[in-house]
Structures are given as C-alpha cells and as structure tokens.
C-alpha cells in the first residue's frame, strides 16, 4: 500500500482532505477543485446515466456504448436532438427516461420528444415534448417545423416497418449535413407479427431499407450507366450496424470512382 493510501486509511477521508488543504496552504499550491457529486459525477458516462434514469437503452439493450462512440463529438455542443417515442405508452406519468438521460449527457443541447400520447409532464428546461404520429408525414413535418434544424434523430417509436420507413423518408432529408440518424429495435423487422417479414430479402421492412443504404454508399461504382442515384445515395456517408441498432451518418457522398481507369475495356468506347 502506498504512503498516501496508508495515511488516508489511518485518518479517514475527511481528515485526509483537511490535511491536504493544510499542506496546499503551507506550500502555496492551488486548492484542489471539488470532486463532482450526484448526476454531475456520472454526466460523462452515458451508460451510467441510462442506469440512473432507468431507460432500457442499457440493460434490456446495449445501445448506450454505441451512442457514446457516435455522439461523443457533440458532448459540449449546442444542437437539437429529436427522439421519436417517449415511452410509457398511454400510462399516466410514465415515460421520458431517455430524454432526461440525453439532457444530462449533453449539457447545452435542446432535447425534443414526440409521442402519440401527451407526455407534457416530462417538459422542463431543455426538454420539450410534442404529440405526433410517426406514420403521418404531415404530423412529423409539423413537429420538425417547430424545432427547426435537426442535428440528431432517434427513432424509438412503434418499431413497425411502415412507420420506420415513413419517418426516415420524412425526417432524414431534414437532418443537417453531419447529422446522425438512429433506428432502434430493428429486431421487429424480422417479425411478421410486428409488420416485419421472415424473408431476409424483403424490401418493405426496416432492415430491407437499411441494408439498401449500404449499396447506396457505393453507387458511384455501379456500372449501370442508366442508374440515377437516390437522395440517400447522395447523402449517406456511413451506416453502422449493431445488434438491434443502426446509426446513419449524413453528408455529401461524392468521393468519385476509379472504375473507368480500372475497367478500361468496358469504358473504351464511351
């Protein structure tokens, strides 16, 4: 055991702190900054915050470690985060756990949530909720109009494929360049009972749509000269797949291709 640990053990925490302050005063050292307590002590750890606020983004799922990796760069930025689905269904006074988690992880962000049910009891400084329907583009656009610029969108709504596809088609174009779009609980894509499909190649499911984005990342390599790139082809620069979670990065996808140089014979007459 080190000398410092031995002294601390012998004196106890309080007396050890008093002794350190006296030593610093005598030696002219600046006082040690107070150590954070309560929520401040865990504000840099998204998983700890998830456990504290009892959101299933950790425990039932393992999402927070992935979110921390992909959203850490926004930690001290001012930005808007919108989450689809606030939790608690129609039960009075239930829901809002993840909105509180986001608020305490991002100290300068504005946190917004939308749900089919009135969750206004969650509203507080930097948290605002709306009533809206993710299956209705007009409803989603009305919410987005009230928020303004969207930097992060998280779909934790109904998890029904038609709703997820509608939400993505409506809100992804409104996401700013450099923004992040996340789709949670993609397991429902494989469940017919949840409007998914057992067919792994089904195009109408959440995963069918998300898997197509990976081909779109490489649209410049397609040899079909008649192919017209889609909006997502041109504006998705990264797709990260995790267990039941997909995170999409938005940006200008136009790095170019070397296919004409490599495939000289194919393009010799063009």
H helix or E strand, kind and range, residue 245 = strand 245-250
Q: Which residues, 6+ apart, have CB-to-CB distance to 182 below 8 Å?
A: 67, 152, 153, 154, 155, 245, 246, 247, 248
Helix, strand, coil fractions of the chain, as percent rounded to 5: 45, 20, 40
- Cα gap 50→64, rounded to integer Å: 8
Active-site position among 159, 163, 204, 240: 159
Let me know if 159 is a catalytic residue: yes
Q: Tell me how far apart the alpha carbons of residues 191 and 193 are, in angstroms, rounded to a whole number.
A: 5
Taken in order 20, 22, 26, 30, is the CA torsion positive or negative?
positive
Tell me the C-alpha distance between 235 and 174, whole Å.
Answer: 11
Distance CA 71, CA 81 (A): 11
Taking alpha carbons only, the member of 54, 65, 61 closest to residue 88 is 54
Task: Quote the tokens at residue 149.
Answer: 């610029």
| 152 Cβ contact partners less than 8 Å away, ≥ 6 residues apart | 71, 74, 79, 80, 81, 82, 179, 180, 181, 182
Q: Which residues sit opposite 110 in a β-bridge?
A: 80
- Edge-to-edge, what's the strand order for the sheet holding 245-250? 127-131, 110-115, 80-84, 150-155, 175-184, 245-250, 236-242
Active site (catalytic) residues: 159
């Amino acid at each position: 055991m080190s000398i410092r640990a031995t002294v601390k053990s012998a004196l106890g925490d309080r007396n050890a702190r008093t002794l350190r302050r006296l030593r610093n005063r005598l030696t002219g050292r600046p006082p040690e900054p107070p150590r954070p307590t309560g929520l401040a002590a865990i504000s840099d750890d998204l998983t700890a915050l998830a456990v504290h606020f009892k959101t299933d983004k950790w425990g039932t799922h393992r999402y927070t470690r992935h979110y921390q990796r992909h959203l850490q760069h926004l930690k001290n930025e001012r930005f808007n985060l919108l989450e689809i689905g606030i939790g608690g269904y129609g039960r009075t006074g239930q829901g809002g756990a993840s909105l509180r988690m986001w608020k305490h992880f991002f100290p300068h962000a504005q946190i917004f949530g939308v749900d089919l049910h009135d969750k206004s009891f969650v509203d507080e400084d930097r948290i605002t909720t709306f009533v809206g329907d993710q299956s209705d583009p007009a409803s989603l656009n009305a919410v987005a109009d009230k928020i303004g610029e969207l930097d992060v969108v998280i779909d934790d709504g109904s998890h029904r494929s038609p709703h997820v596809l509608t939400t993505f088609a409506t809100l992804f174009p409104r996401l700013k360049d450099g923004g992040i779009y996340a789709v949670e609980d993609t397991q429902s894509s494989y469940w017919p009972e949840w409007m998914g499909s057992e067919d792994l190649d089904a195009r109408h499911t959440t995963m069918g749509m998300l898997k197509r984005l990976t081909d779109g990342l490489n649209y410049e390599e397609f040899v079909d000269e008649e192919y017209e790139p889609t909006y997502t082809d041109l504006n998705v620069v990264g797709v990260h797949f995790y267990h039941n979670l997909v995170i999409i990065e938005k940006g200008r996808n136009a790095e170019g291709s070397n296919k004409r140089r490599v495939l000289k014979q194919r393009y010799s007459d063009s």
